[in-house]
Structure 1
Amino acid sequence: MTITWPKTLPLPTVDGYGVHPGEAILRTEMEAGPARQRRRFTQVPSRISVRWLFRREQFALFEAWYRWHAKEGGEWFEIDLLGGLGLVGHEARFTRQFEARLKNGVLWEVTSDLEIRERPTLDGDALDIFLENDPALLLATIADLNTLVHQKLPGPMTW
């Protein structure tokens, strides 16, 4: 069974959000000359600092989901998180127990850190295209093409 973030709960807020990539490079200082570096891992988990604001009933749902579905935060689950590609699905789990504070007697502020298996990034071919072209122009062209195909062209032909 795949565990997913409850659809009835909000996603993390932008305030307090941070991406902390794991260390993939091993650096060795030399007695003389420049230090040597090498790549240790090809896939390095990243940590994401998250913050939620919950109403009372949402906080109750979160606590129960965290305890029973996320197994006190130890299970991997699917959640949409922000990154360079925008809001996309990630596989995440909690790295530490959440902290909750009552704000203004109304909202619960919940903070924690999530570990994600892999940060979604552009693949090699897309990177090459973006490096050789103006990204803003490419994105505008994609938006124009989407409008043309989905709004201006006639629907499928029926014979």
Structure 2
Amino acid sequence: MPILWPEILPLPTVQGYGIRPGEAILRTEMEAGPARQRKRFTQVPSRISVRWLMKREQFALFEAWYRWHAKEGGEWFEIPLLGGIGLVDHEARFTRQFEAKLVGGVLWEIASELEIRERPTLDRDALDLLLDNEPTSLLASVSALNTLVHQKLPGPMVW
């Protein structure tokens, strides 16, 4: 059973949020001619700098979840995180202990870094479709198809 980020806790803030992809390419400089490069791994973990703002009760819950469910941050868990395709569930784990400081005597600011197994991206077919078509026309076509299917066509036939 996967470990889930508690829905009662906030998601990371956008302030301080950053994605740092891992190095997927091994580069070898040559004595003469261009350097050689090759892909080292098929799956390259990325690191995400995260920051949360939590009320006292939320921070208490976070600390307990971190200790018991995330096993002091060592276990993989599912959490919605931002990326190029929007807010998507990621498989993540902590790469270092979190740091917490009290802000304004009311909120806790928690900062850490997460490692994600794989950054969700558009698949190859979606990429090719978007590169081969003008995005505004494509979105208009999708909108027109949606209107046709959901508003103009008759409902399902009952036999």
**TM-score > 0.5 by shorter chain:** yes
Residues 118-133 of structure 1 aligned to structure 2 (within 5 Å) = 118-133=118-133
Give the 3 Å change call, closer, same or farther, for CA 147–75 of structure 1 in structure 2: farther
1:98: which partner in 2? 98
Q: Does 1:110 align with 2:129?
A: no
Write the deviation string for residues 21-42 of structure 1: whole angstroms up to 9, x where unpaired. 0001001111222211111111
1:34: which partner in 2? 34
Give the 3 Å change call, closer, same or farther, for CA 144–87 of structure 1 in structure 2: farther
1:54: which partner in 2? 54
1:84: which partner in 2? 84
Runs of 4 or more consecutive aligned structure 1 residues displaced over 6 Å after TM superposition: none
With normalisation by structure 2, the TM-score equals 0.91
Write the deviation string for residues 69-114 of structure 1: whole angstroms up to 9, x where unpaired. 0000000001111111111111000000001111111111111111
1:15: which partner in 2? 15
CA-based RMSD of the aligned residues comes to 1.7
Residue 140 (structure 1) shift: 4.3
With normalisation by structure 1, the TM-score equals 0.91
Q: Counterparts of 2:127 and 2:65 in 1: how far apart (Å)?
A: 38
2:70: which partner in 1? 70
Q: Percent identity?
A: 81
Q: Counterparts of 2:82 and 2:153 in 1: how far apart (Å)?
A: 33
Give the 3 Å change call, closer, same or farther, for CA 140–66 of structure 1 in structure 2: farther
Secondary structure of 1:142's match?
A: helix
Q: Counterparts of 2:151 and 2:13 in 1: how far apart (Å)?
A: 33
Residue 144 (structure 1) shift: 4.6
Paired letter, 2:28: T
2:2: which partner in 1? 2
